[in-house]
Amino acid sequence: MPMTDYREALEEAVRTLHRVEIELFTAMVNVGFKGPYDDLSRLHDVGEVINLEVAMFEETGDRNVDLLIESLKKVARVKQEIVDINDIDIDLDQE
């Protein structure tokens, strides 16, 4: 595999990991709002924008949420390591 193809494969892997990270975050929020934060979810209207961070879900005591957070952090770490090791410069916010 030529180096250009290899680099393109690495960049695509980073993009894929980024999408997985977003999906895991969404899953964490959905599980959190159906479980430990069920009451909170009722306070907001459908379509209302709520700024959420992983840290808000870290102390729920819900093992399922904990597993999703663990997975999310692992994916984020692996993605960043691939970026760092290979000096990849792509704007994932544009993906």
Output the DSSP codes for 42-55: TTS-TT------GG
What pLDDT is recorded for position 18? 96
pTM score of the predicted model: 0.85
What pLDDT is recorded for position 1? 58
What pLDDT is recorded for position 92? 86
3 or 23: whose pLDDT is higher? 23
Quick: pLDDT tens for 6-44. 999 999 999 999 999 999 999 999 999 999 988 877 777
Token match 């994916």: residue?
75
